[in-house]
Amino acid sequence: MHRIFQERPEILNPVFGVLGVSLPQKATVDAVATDVTEARPLERRVDTVLRVGPSDGEDFLLAIESQSKKDPNKQSSWAYYVAYLQAKYNLPVLLLVVCQDQSTAKWAAGPFDCGTRGWTAQRTYPLVAGPHNLPMITDTRTAAKNLPLAVLSAMAHARTTDIDAILVSIDRALQELWATDPETAGYFYECLEVNLGDSPGGKKWKEIMSFVTYFPGRGTVRETAYLEGRAEGKAEGRAEGEAKGIVRVLEARGLSVTDSVRERITGCTDLTLLDAWLHRSATVARAEDLFADDAGAFE
């Protein structure tokens, strides 16, 4: 869940708004090395570290951790991250923990103390984003206005009863985006699949997902279906591989592929047309709709 902050930094402003932390609309955001290992001690890595340059004040570092459950070791790790980053960069440091359930979020809020005999030497106060404070976005127009926040919200509410409505609104927003920016839409489709996993939200999302691989090697349904299809057709040439990949994507989405549709796809040798069909296979409601925008549409 932390990775979305690296790749979609525009999410920071609305999330900070939820957390009650002031941040101007204009700010620069740059990724910082996440390695906080000293010369000899145990290796330590923060999930994500960003340097934020607000237009109205000094730069600061934002260390972001994705936390799926309570972990007693984090009490010392998080304190170490904050102290190390402040010492290395001589900048103020904030720690943001992103959670998917309320009990973990409540625990992660701390504060976590380091001290003894009635004296506190250091105290860590993480900012926490989770189902307790991230909004449930069930309106398509609202989701379209701020997709990164909508996607993060879906991750946080993956186990709630409202997750189906949240995902439907995001899917509709992404289908509209697909027409103008298929790469961004595809990224969010697969980002959700990876992060929702086997949760109730993950099962729902697998019904409506698309095909663009931004997480290679993770064994997602789109990646597996497409690569298996291409592997089968590789020996016969690129066109046949593309065709088999399209059929596999349609079948992976649970769509019925008739013999006539299959023959039209596998009989095509036009790579440009096959590429267009591959993109459409991600969102069509029926396999026959694959050809709707082509001259001589399928009857």
Q: Cα separations (Å) of 13 from 18, 27, 273? A: 9, 9, 41
State pLDDT tens for residues 1-45. 777 777 787 878 888 888 888 887 778 877 776 665 554 444 567
CA 140 centroid distance within chain: 18
- Ranges of beta strands (E only) in 4-138 are 27-32, 48-54, 60-67, 93-99, 112-116, 119-124, 127-129
pLDDT reported for residue 118 = 86
pLDDT reported for residue 215 = 53
State pLDDT tens for residues 167-208. 989 988 888 887 788 788 888 888 888 888 888 888 888 776
Average pLDDT, the chain: 81
Which sign does the torsion angle of CA 20, 25, 27, 31 carry? positive
pTM above 0.85, yes or no: no
The terminus-to-terminus CA distance of the chain in angstroms comes to 44
Q: Please determine, for residue 232, whether its predicted confidence score (pLDDT) is greater than 60.
A: no
Q: Give the list of residues 6+ apart from residue 267 with CB closer than 8 angstroms, or none.
A: 243
pLDDT reported for residue 85 = 93
Residue where the block lists tokens 């699949």: 193
Closest CA to 155 of 128, 195, 127, 191: 195
Sorted by where each starts, the structural domains of the chain and their CATH numbers stand as 3-129 (3.40.1350), 211-299 (no CATH)
State pLDDT tens for residues 68-97. 899 999 989 999 999 999 999 999 999 999
Tell me the pairing of strands 48-54 and 60-67.
Answer: antiparallel
State pLDDT tens for residues 138-155. 999 999 998 999 999 999
Please tell me the chain's helix, strand, coil percentages from 3-state DSSP, rounded to the nearest 5: 50, 15, 35
